[in-house]
Amino acid sequence: MDKFVFATNNLHKIEEIQQIIGTEFEIIGLEEIGCKEEIPETQNTIAGNALQKARFIYDKYQINCFADDTGLEVEALNGEPGVYSARYAGPGRSFEDNIQKLLFELKDKSNRKARFLTVVALIIDNKEYLFEGIINGEIIHDKKGNSGFGYDPIFKPENSDFTFAEMNSEEKNKISHRGKAMQKLIQFLKNS
């Protein structure tokens, strides 16, 4: 069975993709290859960071692998927080801090359009492939829902009456940025 390292420390993400991908491929995490160090993410684009993480693991362990990176891009803020989504309110700040900063920055803006972008970078036998997933939506004025993480309580996907935080993970994954990028990765692996 073909084996891939998913360059993430998030066990939930690994379980989730293993479930979708079935038994044809084995997905293992960083812990299983003994990688305990922090993987650098110093690029200024989402794709650049995804590739940097995958490349770091491939170069060090010579094993086929993939990595993902995600950002929330808000139109009225020229694409911010984008690549800085995890630390928008400053280093080490909470999801709540980031949400409050975003709501503050948008308080006088009528254009609330935003999108999540995920890029998955895959390296097989030293060849690189990128897969992109996008969901368009809007930033609402007050938080709604308790599920999910990050900006989920203030992001309402287009054509939906609910925020990501009001959906269960199955409903969210079907339409989400990460779900779409992962589906593209899976189709590619199954066809190659």
Question: What gap in Å lies between CA 48 and CA 144, rounded to an integer?
Answer: 32
Quickly list H helices, 106-176: 169-175
> What are the φ/ψ torsions at residue 180 (nearest 5 degrees)?
-65, -45
As a residue count, the chain comes to 192
Nearer to ligand IMP, 184 or 191 (CB): 184
CB 57 within 8 A of CB 35: yes
Nearer to ligand IMP, 12 or 190 (CB): 12
Among 6, 52, 66, 70, binds ligand IMP (CB under 6 A): 70
Q: Verify binding: residue 163, ligand IMP, rule CB under 6 A.
A: no
Question: What gap in Å lies between CA 29 and CA 8, rounded to an integer?
Answer: 6
Burial of 21 (0-12, 13-18, 19+ CB in 10 A): middle
* Span of 64-72, 105-113, 125-133, 139-147 interacting with ligand IMP by CB under 6 A: 64-72
Among 52, 64, 85, 173, binds ligand IMP (CB under 6 A): 85
Q: Verify binding: residue 73, ligand IMP, rule CB under 6 A.
A: no
Among 151, 154, 156, 189, binds ligand IMP (CB under 6 A): 151
Residue whose CB is nearest to ligand IMP in the complex, by number: 150
> Annotated active-site positions, please?
69
Binding letters toward ligand IMP, positions 7-46, x by CB under 6 A: ----------------------------------------
Nearer to ligand IMP, 56 or 164 (CB): 164
User: Residues 83-115, buried b or exposed e (16+ Cβ, 10 A)?
Assistant: bebbebbeeeeebeebbbebeebbeeeeebebb
Footprint of ligand IMP (CB under 6 A)? 69-72, 85-86, 98, 148-152, 164, 176, 178
